[in-house]
Amino acid sequence: MNILDKIVLRKKIEIQERKSSISYNQLEKTLFFSQHSTSLKDSINSKNLSIIAEHKRKSPSKSEINFSTPTNEIIQGYQDAGAAAISVLTDSYFFGGSNEDLNFAKKNSTIPILRKEFIIDEFQIIESKSIGADAVLLIASILNENEIINLSRLAKENNLDVLIEVHTPEELKKSLNENIDLIGVNNRNLKTFKVDLENSINICNQIPKNFTKISESGLNSIDDLRILLECGFDGFLIGEQFMREKDPGSKLKELINSY
């Protein structure tokens, strides 16, 4: 069993536990559920260099990344540095995140908040809206075509933008529907965690022009970003490069200023 299979297996257990502790009705009565969401797609398309800066404490491939910098400093630093959006990992067991991290980010920033989670159930879409997400991540490799359609439709019905993450042309093909706003090409194979920037370059031209294009993972320099911008990407999701620094916001600002 690879790491992705292990994550999904644990996520199924977590979802059942969450469903037994809180109802859909309770989620729909939360503070953020009735609030208007801020468009991730619009924010990405409004900047010359659009970075979705990620709040990520650890990962299966890197173990601990940063548990020392307080969440408030990370969120404020990202916003002040000019991030187009903030991605928040909410998986606790494998990534050290929480719903509270996302909730805090929403309360203390004005830019879009992307919930980065392993979403496999409609409950998680409603939960995402209830904790303050403006957009959700769907991962094509753990969903079939009908699941992608149903989950993305529910997200749009609740005013959430949808970023779908693909790794292969086959995953891209099954992911294209009218409810998807952004296509993210992950340069990290989630089964092996090997990173290859060529993955974004090879898939970019296969993405229809009406989708906003995001490259994810393994982006370590402004030269990498320039290459991908020339290929047609509109923005980038970067986490580890920032989070391994004591001051993630300063590292983001340095990257943006170098452009």
Active site residues: 54, 56, 116, 165, 186, 216-217
* CA distances, 6 to each of 35, 61, 95, 172 (Å): 34, 13, 13, 23
- Classified as helix, coil or strand, 152 is helix
- The DSSP call for residue 208 is -
Sign of the Cα pseudo-torsion (143, 112, 187, 91, in order): negative
CB atoms within 10 A of CB 70: 8
Rounded Cα distance between 254 and 238, Å, is: 13
Using alpha carbons, select from 186, 190, 211, 212 the residue that is nearest to residue 200.
186
Contact (Cβ atoms closer than 8 angstroms) between residue 116 and residue 139: no
User: Which residues are bridge partners to 188 per DSSP?
Assistant: 195
Residue 129 structure tokens: 């809206």
